[in-house]
Amino acid sequence: MSILRLSVMKERATAPSKRGDFVADTYRSDRRTGDLGELPEAETVDPKSALMRHLQRVLEDPAGPTGKLSADAPVAVMVHGFLFDPRQAVTPDPADSDNPHGRLFHFFSGAEEIEHKEHTTSWPLWLGFMEEDQGQSGLAVAFGWHSQPGLAGSLLEGAENFYARAYDYAGRSAWVLVNVLQALHAILAGRKIDIVCHSLGSRVVVRALAMAAKRNLPLVGGIDRVIFLGGAEYVVEAQLMHSRLQKISGIAALPSFFNIVSREDAVLDRLGEKFGPRTFGNSQVIGHNGLDVEDPGPNWIDLQIDSGKLQSWMEERGLHISGDRPGNVWDHWYYYTYRGNMEFYGKLLRDRANWTIASMRQNGVPDRVSRRWSIFGN
């Protein structure tokens, strides 16, 4: 295998089966499955926690997913978005289950039209990871978190709408992600770690990096590239995380953030900006508006994939990106169901020298976010 799977129920981590089925039983080291316990937010990462011991056992196994990890192969943590439940059974047809391991973090290549409709495109496969190569193509870490709280349960438990409840779950899962990133940084010493996340997964990632920066944790120095796909995290939270990173000490370089934006994303416009928790500043999200600062600096770039100018720039370099599907207003999943977009993200992970923020800007990439809606995407 070239994939390491985790399932997360708020603060609680579990090691699922090889294909991603939830295992609630007591952890068994011989099978490397089962309950890894709760990880409540703390001032630092506990190196002796069950999760950390499990990750060390898996990552140091010569026959495991990093047994043949090559020097230039990427290590990428994948974090999905809204409406997934890792407790559901993995099914032969990815569309029949909302378990993220079965719906997104699989290695099946289906018909593109069906994957558009069902939102079942394989992330690891289209990012260039092979299923059984022990890491020769890199290591994919599948972070499957509970983002489907249910309408009735949300109202009964906290008088919240189901989306606001899922946003809360994302924040509570963030410390588990901090632990995972710290383990990767410590065990795979010297190796850079990337993160790819979609939609509400950006809440998990932004919160985790803000926590790590606040505590000046060493893992920050191990994060290289963060790719946000239609991020549903609020702009103010991303700005807070970004400012904390600028102040952290003792690291050679800050992470690079590639924020993939679509102005014509009806889901973010109707759901992300309307149904999340209503606190001061929570009105705009990064997948719709970018970081929204005058100068984002050398480590953040907003790329509007439904911009005709950016599409033309990419076509000159042999890439075909798209932010929307003609005739379809529900394009929030097109970030990863459109294979041209996935090819671009693969370039960011695997052709790193030619796809840095600096080199893209030197070559005149049309970055920033348009403040006008246009059916022509300009």
- Answer whether residue 20 is part of any domain: no
144 found inside a domain: yes
Q: For the domain that residue 274 is a member of, what is the CATH number? A: 3.40.50
| Residue 5 belongs to a domain | no
Q: In this structure, how many other beta carbons lie within 10 angstroms of the beta carbon of residue 43?
A: 7
Q: Tell me if 332 is assigned to some domain.
A: yes
Number of domains in the chain: 1
Label residues 150-180 b or e (16+ Cβ within 10 Å = b): eeeebeeeeebbbbbbbbbbbbbbbbbbbbb
Domain carrying residue 173: 39-362
| Cα distance between residue 366 and residue 356, in whole Å | 14
How much is the pTM?
A: 0.94
Q: What is the pLDDT of residue 175?
A: 98
Residue % of the chain over a pLDDT of 90:
78
- Averaged pLDDT score across all residues of the chain: 91
pLDDT digits (tens, 9 = 90+) for 81-115: 999 999 999 999 999 999 999 999 999 999 999 99
pLDDT over 70 at 18, yes or no: yes
In a domain, 174, yes or no: yes
The answer to the question of residue 140 being in a domain is: yes
Distance CA 279, CA 181 (A): 29
Which of 241-255, 343-357, 364-378 has the lowest average pLDDT? 364-378
For residue 9, is it within any domain? no
**133 is a domain residue:** yes
At 222 the three-state DSSP class reads helix
Tokens of 62: 């010569």
Question: How far apart are the C-alpha atoms of 40 and 155, rounded to whole Å?
Answer: 24
Model confidence at 275: pLDDT above 60:
yes
